[in-house]
Structure 1
Amino acid sequence: MLSVRLICVGKLGEKFWAEAVREYAKRLGAYCKLEILELPEQRLPQEPSEGEIRQALDREAALIESKLPQGAALIALCVEGRPMSSEQLADWISRQTVCGISRLCLVIGGSCGLAEQIKQRAALRLSMSPMTFPHHLARVMVLEQLYRACNIAAGGKYHK
């Protein structure tokens, strides 16, 4: 069975986000072993400088790197990443498993994004959209798309 780790910088705030995450985590149980890790977002001043942002991203990157599972295909969620349809994501995941990859690790950065060093390690830089979304919503969207991709790969009807 596929093992998936979702690393998220920042905590879920409102109860409704947590409920949506729980729902998709439950659904994903039929397709994979899912683990969700929340890492603390670095605090920044109201109007941070480029240097302060870079330092915060570097500290977050160190935490992320300490949680990356060995041998996992890393997917970095970033706005400059590759946009994919649900079918394309399902195909990408299926190709990884055919190549012997049994672990995926998806990373969602904090409000300032992800450090370049994390993006460079990624097997896939994935963009959900050129639009900006709250990271809480991005977490739900990623889980929904992961569920949809797994369902597509299994020949299910959810996608239709």
Structure 2
Amino acid sequence: MDITVVAVGRIGEKSIASGIDWFQNRLKRYCRLRIIEVPDCGAPENLSPPQLEVIKDREGEGILKHIMPAHHVIVLDMRGKKMASSKMARYIRELDLDGVQGMVFVIGGSNGLSRRVMERADLLLSFSDMTFPHQLMRLILLEQIYRWFKPVTL
């Protein structure tokens, strides 16, 4: 299965980048993984809501150009559905059995995601009610993808 992670922003912290590399190497035997970084447009403090929407739309266009019509899109959002790792593993296996060739996981930046990106989602997935930095979320996502493909015995 092809899995693409489209994430806003770059990884600046070496320890996070090292963890991401570790999981990318482990995942090679289970799937074809690509990570695409979309530029973070940044936002100064005290933007008006319309100004913030312009920034989210700009980042959203960068995200959407990497999503094809046949892709199954999972957007990470704290308002999304919560699933246990085992349930998500079954969800991924069912998609694979259904012949889904490509999955795209979307991680927004600090500004959030545009309405168009949210509407394109086949699943809104929440890992927690807590907010995580988007760089750290990329590492957490890769750990979970690894867990979904490689059953962990406790």
Same fold by TM (over 0.5)? yes
Aligned to 1:155: none
Distance in structure 1 (CA, Å) of the matches to 2:28 and 2:63: 24
In the alignment, the residues of structure 2 paired with residue 89 and residue 29 of structure 1 have an alpha-carbon distance, to the nearest angstrom, of: 19
Q: CA deviation digits over 1:63-100, x for unaligned, max 9? A: 11111144111000011110111011101111111111
Quote the residue 1:128 is aligned against.
127
Name 2:109's counterpart in structure 1: 110
Query: What does residue 71 of structure 1 align with?
Result: 70
Distance of 2:14 and 2:124 partners within structure 1: 29
Structure 1 partner of 2:33: 34
TM superposition outliers: structure 1 runs of 4+ over 6 Å: none
Q: Give the fraction of aligned pairs with identical amino acids, expressed as a percent.
A: 34
- Structure 2 distance, partners of 1:117, 1:9, is 15
Can you give the 5+ residue segments of structure 2 that lack an aligned partner in the other structure?
A: none
Instruction: Report the equivalent of 2:42.
Output: 43
Q: Which runs of 5+ in 1 are unaligned?
A: 153-157
CA contact (8 A) 1:44 1:52 kept: no
Could you tell me how far apart the structure 2 residues matched to 1:133 and 1:11 are?
Answer: 15
Question: Which residue does the alignment assign to 1:53?
Answer: 52
Aligned-residue Cα RMSD (Å) equals 1.1
CA distance in 1, matches of 2:6, 2:14: 19
Residue 31 of structure 1 and its aligned partner are, at CA, apart by: 0.4
- TM-score by structure 2 length? 0.96
d(CA) in 2 for partners of 1:45, 1:75: 28
Deviation at 1:126, TM superposition (A): 0.4
